[in-house]
Amino acid sequence: MEKARIYADRANQFRHESTDFPLWSALALELLARAALTKIHPVLNADPREDANLLYACGYAVTEQPKSLALHAVFLRLEKTVPGFGKVQRELCDYISILRNDELHGGSLPFEKLKESAWLPRYYEVCKVLCTYLGKSLSDLLGPDVSHAADKLISALTKGLKKGVKDRISAHTKVFQSKDAPEKRRSVAQAARMARFLPNGSTKYACPACDSLGVLRGELIKELRPSYEDEQIIVDQEFLATEFKCSVCELNLRNPEEIAHAGIEPRFTGRRVTDLHELFEPEEPDPYMNM
């Protein structure tokens, strides 16, 4: 579990659109899965094709290098033993591990075009199931800030909510299509102007109903390490998308669950400019500094 936490920390040091984020997340998942299987009995993690592997798992000294069970078999065993780990969770794990193997051992770059909405909510759900089985919380694996955002994405997996969101998008598409051409052009142009200058914690995003530029707002999850660019200190930030508004067709998605079901990426990146004084000044001033 501890090594899985370290790998999860490494994943969260990268921007969410970086290929390093899903790679380290996949490695953390393997460690977490094997830890859950080991809790039942260490022998379940041993490759059964050689006796030495089974003996080592039972605590006997062996001369050969022991080998662990193939990862896809680990997921199959978890499906049969861990409450809440079913076929859907196993298939997500298999999918992520296949991409990981291709990334590390193949000639392609499978994480380059991988959308978070296609895997991240279910990934967090799997992590929560395994952490619970190990007697831990999701916060123990991801930290309080990221786990708070993860819980919101997990709740986005509700199927009934998804149908409602799709129906609303379809209705707002009809609203947009009912407008005459001049009105469409005016409203689309106005939306584009509004999206040019947005406050921190907001970004422009194509509306899933009418494809005009809407505004996606979010809450801060984490700040990455500062970098020095163009004589400025830049801090990249990651936000959990919490609201989407389109002024053209008036679609309004009010929480991360609705946003995820609309096919909008659940997180986005922003950045702020700072200076060394702001970065390193203590929150409480030192009373002796002026002496």
Structure confidence at residue 281 (pLDDT)? 53
**Lowest-pLDDT range of 59-68, 90-99, 175-184:** 59-68
In this prediction, residue 153 has a pLDDT band, given cuts at 50, 70 and 90, of confident
Q: 118 forms bridges with which residues in the sheet?
A: none
pLDDT at 287 over 80: no
Say whether 10 sits in a helix, a strand or coil. Answer: helix
Element spanning 57, H or E: helix 51-57
Structure confidence at residue 22 (pLDDT)? 93
User: For residue range 18-59, what is the model confidence (pLDDT) as tens digits?
Assistant: 889 999 999 999 999 999 999 999 888 887 788 876 887 888
In this prediction, residue 291 has a pLDDT band, given cuts at 50, 70 and 90, of very low
Instruction: Output the pTM of the full model.
Output: 0.69
Residues in the chain: 291
In this prediction, residue 215 has a pLDDT band, given cuts at 50, 70 and 90, of very high
Average pLDDT over residues 224-240: 81
User: For residue range 238-250, what is the model confidence (pLDDT) as tens digits?
Assistant: 899 999 999 999 9
User: For residue range 117-142, what is the model confidence (pLDDT) as tens digits?
Assistant: 889 989 999 999 999 999 999 999 99
In this prediction, residue 190 has a pLDDT band, given cuts at 50, 70 and 90, of very high
In this prediction, residue 278 has a pLDDT band, given cuts at 50, 70 and 90, of low
C-alpha distances in Å from residue 4, one per residue of 82, 127, 199, 231, 259: 18, 10, 36, 37, 29
Query: CA–CA separation, 218 vs 156, rounded Å?
Result: 16
Query: CA–CA separation, 256 vs 264, rounded Å?
Result: 10
> Percentage of the chain surpassing pLDDT 90?
50
Token duo for residue 86: 């079913």
Strands (E), 167-254: 202-206, 213-223, 227-229, 232-245, 252-253
Average pLDDT over residues 202-227: 91
The closest of 83, 84, 85 to 75, measured between CA atoms, is 85
In this prediction, residue 290 has a pLDDT band, given cuts at 50, 70 and 90, of very low
